[in-house]
Structure 1
């Protein structure tokens, strides 16, 4: 029973450590991804550090770096918590193995003492001959044989338990060292976070001094974005009007066919002296979303896009430095109808889903690419060049252009629309 209990404990330990190892691997990958994002942001900030003019992109990059640094500290805390769980489990296992080893040694010592008392063959023979009958003598012979075999097994159990105990102690020592390293790393990250917050305070102080110029920059950006939004709306409106025209033509043909059939049915009813059948009901006008998914291909694209909500790939490798919605910086406010992803100049910009290139515009020297996915649209702004043309079919993760610098930092503005409604891209792209 003790052996079975020991094996059960070891089995549970293996299962637990396997699950913890998987979580450790996930946390390590997350931490490495955060480190890459911080490194990229820092490179961009280093490039703009010498610039006298403060930009919204710089402020957003510093704020994003602080958020990432806090996220990394949180990830390290999760790693430490996992290690604490491992340490606790391994410590319990070590104590269990030590207790089990002590019990096995006591049992083995008792068997050795018994063997010492019956160490010669004369004593064994006397033990057998002292039996009351043949049946008892046979059982005593079998007992001596089994006792010898069990003693050998107990010696093996002791050796194996000792090896398991040594192994667990080594794992425990290794985990304690890992925890020590993580605590040192955590302390360094806290120091870096402190420096980032000090830099943020300096930037905001500078902002208050240059508030007038900063407000002008934001107003300029608003005007530019309004012109881009107008071009996007016109392109989508043209797509809707084209879909409406096709639907109207299909409805006209269907109505003409229905009228002809109704006329023929009325003629047959008159010839047969029957009442004429009721005229067919007029077709109901379709909504914008119905117009854009009027054919099987468009409907399939729209359904596929919807089914991948939360799993769409990032359009460019980088960090979201400005989120969806209204943001305030000092007294100035901006309404971002997409997300801004900071990356590096020349980084490939990729389609997030299969679709068709609805339009490409060159505005303020930068390209804007609009992709159509049934009744969904994705918009990619601030491209240095576009590698697709209007009407092209594109596939998921296909490169459609490369990123340009916007001011001092390479930043993609990415939007998602359903019909003419703006959606929060962070609800659609993968975390």
Structure 2
């Protein structure tokens, strides 16, 4: 009997020792498990890194979406302008210019769709790489968890754990064993939580991949549709060019009339600017003469007062001595006059205007239908422009591009009403206005309304906008902010 009890105690002790060895082994494995968790964290870090890359791509995505919105707004604006010009029964140069701008915007739209597709490829690749990493991560987690469950099942679970705890020879051993058991249980819970997290990430990535593929399909369909629209526009352009070419003599006559009007406008503005410069210089010279006269009078009065004081002093003396005449002060040099005779306010305004090169607001919304200088609008038909023509919608208000003073308001035939605004030694011109609501000498602020755009007999509404520095013509396109 004693032998049986002894053998039972021995088996219980051996079992406890086996359990202790098992948990010691697991404790040693926890270090490697912790390293495994570090690797697991590294895999998740890869996923997070891919998410960071996606964040950078998101910035590109936001920029692309912004460009797409702006181009769409431009297309809608051009469609409105083109509709206005196509209401006429015959083709016009204004219609041709609008079609060319719409073709340009349509090409840009297709380019943006292609950029979108490339970006989608990159985003899809990132999502797939992240999913592959998560697949490997989940597989390792499942294998580790399966081993832990299998090993635990061989130890009869809670009964063996209790036996393991209470068979400890000392209280300290009891605490050590309890710590091992708790760490083991915590490790299993962590692995379950980690698997759930990875599974959730995988579902999210799979959904994103599916949505991205749908976006790609829609973008491809859109590219095909926009390509067809582009071909239709090119067909319309060919028809307009053909019709205009058949009326070459008539078109050349119209262009010649516009050229003559431009020359008249140029001559008129040159005369106004030269007169203004001469008047400013004369005002500056007159002011300098007045100042010199005042200074001379002040010096003479000071000399006379000094002589009187010296004479009174000499009369008080018994012996009259000659007093030296007061030393004449050298006449100060005349202040240099600005080459253009501008005052400080005008100099400051000119400097501020020059600093806004490339940032000036547009006088009207629309597009540049005729650029600065000479260009061929049709075969053998050349057109010259002292500024730029901006085609817009009928009835659009015209605004100043900067603070200034109205120099003159006049009517010049084909150029309709014209407003000249001075900005120091810079000048802006707004021609082809239906009506004007400013007067000469009036001070204006930037973006202030000065009139309404005129519409010609062909249904074209455009403003001729010019920038001059004294008598030199500048290209307004480089002064206006990009659109």
**1:328-407 paired onto structure 2 within 5 Å:** 328-329=376-377, 330-364=379-413, 366-407=416-457
Residues 331 and 160 of structure 1, relative CA distance in 2, 3 Å threshold? same
Unaligned runs of 5+ in 2: 1-37, 311-322
Cα distance change of structure 1 residues 148 and 224 upon mapping to structure 2, 3 Å threshold: same
Change (3 A) 1:16 1:306: farther
1:236-315 residue pairs with structure 2 within 5 A? 236-260=273-297, 278-288=330-340, 291-292=341-342, 294-296=343-345, 298-315=346-363
Relative distance call for 1:209 and 1:300 in structure 2 (3 A) is same
Cα pair 1:54 1:214 within 8 Å, conserved: no
Residue 218 of structure 1 deviates from its aligned partner by: 0.7
Question: RMSD in angstroms over aligned alpha carbons?
Answer: 3.0
How many angstroms apart in 1 are the aligned matches of 2:347 and 2:40? 63
* Structure 1 gaps, min length 5: none
Q: Check the 8 A contact 2:44/2:134 in 1, yes or no.
A: no
What is the match of residue 95 of structure 1? Answer: 132
Q: Which residue of 2 aligns with 1:85?
A: 122
Structure 1 Cα separation of the partners of residues 366 and 46 of structure 2: 45
Partners in 2 of 1:407 and 1:118 — Cα distance?
99
Tell me what 1:143 maps to: 180
Q: Per-residue deviation at 1:208?
A: 3.0
Which of 215, 225, 231 is 2:262 aligned to?
Answer: 225
User: 1:200-235: per-residue Cα shift (whole Å, max 9, x none)?
Assistant: 222333333222111111101101111222232333
Distance (Å, rounded) in 1 between the aligned partners of 2:153 and 2:275: 102
Residue in structure 2 matched with residue 29 of structure 1 by the alignment = 66
In structure 1, the residue corresponding to 2:402 is in which secondary structure? Answer: coil
The answer (yes or no) to whether the contact 1:265–1:276 under 8 Å persists in 2 is no
Residue 148 of structure 1: CA displacement?
0.9
Any idea what SS the aligned residue of 1:388 has? coil
Count of residue correspondences: 427
Report deviation, 1:151.
Answer: 1.5
Decide whether the 8 Å contact of 1:338 with 1:416 is kept in 2. Answer: yes
Candidates 115, 128, 138, aligned match of 2:152 = 115
Q: Paired residue for 2:475, among 414, 421, 424?
A: 424
Q: Which residue of 2 aligns with 1:160?
A: 197
Matched, 1:411 2:462: yes
Q: Does 1:200 align with 2:234?
A: no
Cα pair distance change 1:151/1:403, threshold 3 Å: same
Report the TM-score, using the length of structure 2 for normalisation: 0.79
Cα offset, 1:287, TM superposition: 2.3
- SS of the residue 2:357 aligns to: coil
Shifted more, 421-430 versus 53-62: the winner is 53-62
CA contact (8 A) 1:378 1:415 kept: yes
CA 1:133/1:263 → structure 2, altered by over 3 Å: closer, same or farther? farther
Instruction: Tell me: CA distance 1:208–1:174, structure 2 relative to 1, closer, same or farther (3 Å).
Output: same
**CA separation of 1:369/1:18 partners in 2, compared to 1, >3 Å: closer, same or farther?**
farther
2:374 is paired with a residue of what secondary structure? strand
Mark the CA change 1:257 to 1:343 in structure 2 (over 3 Å): closer, same or farther.
same
- Asked if the contact 1:370/1:378 (under 8 Å) is kept, the reply is yes
Q: 1:55 and 1:83 mapped to 2: Cα distance?
A: 42
The change in CA–CA distance for 1:424 and 1:75 in structure 2 (over 3 A counts) is: farther
**Structure 1 pair 52–300 and aligned structure 2 pair: CA distance change class (3 A):** same
Are 1:265 and 1:277, in contact at CA under 8 Å, matched by a contact in 2?
Answer: no
Query: Could you list the per-position Cα deviations for residues 16-45 of structure 1 after superposition, in whole angstroms to 9, with x for gaps in the alignment?
Result: 444434433433333333333333433443
Return the offset for 1:85. Answer: 2.0
Deviation at 1:395, TM superposition (A): 2.2
Deviates more, 1:372-381 or 1:220-229: 372-381
Question: Given the superposition, is the C-alpha separation of residues 97 and 403 from structure 1 closer, same or farther in structure 2, using an over 3 Å criterion?
Answer: same
Work out the CA distance in 1 between the residues paired with 2:240 and 2:174. Answer: 97
TM-superposition CA deviations, 1:291-337 (whole Å, max 9, x none): 34x223x3333333233322222211112222222211211222222
Query: What is the rounded CA distance, in whole Å, between the counterparts of 2:465 and 2:244 in structure 1?
Result: 27
Which range moved further: 119-128 or 323-332? 119-128
Match of 1:325 in 2: 373
Distance 1:272 1:128 in 2: 125
Distance 2:271 2:89 in 1: 38
Quickly say closer, same or farther: Cα 1:176–1:374, change in 2 above 3 A.
farther
The range that moved more, 402-411 or 51-60, is 51-60
Q: Within 1, Cα distance between the matches of 2:198 and 2:130? A: 11
Pairing of 1:163-178 with structure 2 (within 5 A): 163-178=200-215
- Per mean C-alpha deviation after superposition, the further-off stretch among 24-33 and 379-388 is 24-33
